[in-house]
Amino acid sequence: MDDDTTITMFHAGRFSKEAAPPWLLAIREGRCKGMDWNKATFAVLGCTTAHVTIGHEVFPIGEMRAYPTPGGGQYVELGEGETSFAEIWVAEAADWLPFNSAYIEPFLLTRATLHQADRTERLGNALIAYARHGDGRHVDRDTGESRIDHREDWEREKRERAGQRTLIAAHGSQNA
């Protein structure tokens, strides 16, 4: 079976590849017709039972969406921004809690920890830049780093390269 006709299924504590149910084929068909994936999923399955986004909504560090499926199960999408995507079908309601606690919660916790570490680094950089240079527009909004420090680093590297060129030229003229 290829990926367009299969889905990863969680049942009785195990993962397996199964034939895609009709509702998933309908979602994929809607996507092939140019419909946005989320709109196609909503059109076929209806509302989400859970939607968690970690980080920025446009480019999240982690995202989980769960939709109710016909027959009482859950269709789950796990994503890490643009890098990876997983779709899992938990067909039995009794499997939802074990799946959620064993896979979804650790996934979200890991992504939230990475996001928090990034935000903490950004805050630390901004505090250091403020302490070194005072209030102003010199703090990079994306990284929290000091633009003054970047400029000074660039100027130092430029001086070092000029010094190296001078040494190379002097060494070359001595050997000639």
The per-residue pLDDT for range 54-74, each reduced to its tens digit, is 887 777 888 999 999 988 899
Could you tell me if 8 and 80 lie in one domain? yes
Could you tell me if 41 and 85 lie in one domain? yes
CA angle 27, 31, 37 (to 5 degrees): 80
Could you tell me if 65 and 10 lie in one domain? yes
Could you tell me if 79 and 133 lie in one domain? no
Is the residue at 49 inside a domain?
yes
pLDDT at 112: 92
Amino acid at residue number 113: T
Whether residue 19 is predicted with pLDDT greater than 80 in this model: the reply is yes
Could you tell me if 141 and 62 lie in one domain? no
Is the residue at 46 inside a domain?
yes
pLDDT for 126-143, tens place per residue? 777 777 766 666 676 666
Could you tell me if 89 and 35 lie in one domain? yes
Whether residue 175 is predicted with pLDDT greater than 80 in this model: the reply is no
Whether 79 contacts 108, CB under 8 Å: no
* Model pTM score: 0.67
Could you tell me if 120 and 86 lie in one domain? no
Domain extent at residue 134: 116-175
Could you tell me if 36 and 68 lie in one domain? yes
pLDDT at 142: 64
pLDDT at 110: 92
- Number of C-beta neighbours around residue 38 at 10 A: 14
pLDDT for 5-15, tens place per residue? 899 999 999 99
Could you tell me if 60 and 15 lie in one domain? yes
Handedness of CA 151, 157, 163, 166 (dihedral sign): negative
- Please give the mean pLDDT across all residues of the chain: 85
pLDDT for 71-107, tens place per residue? 889 999 998 877 678 999 999 999 999 999 999 999 9
pLDDT at 1: 39
Q: How many domains does the chain have?
A: 2
Is the residue at 111 inside a domain?
no
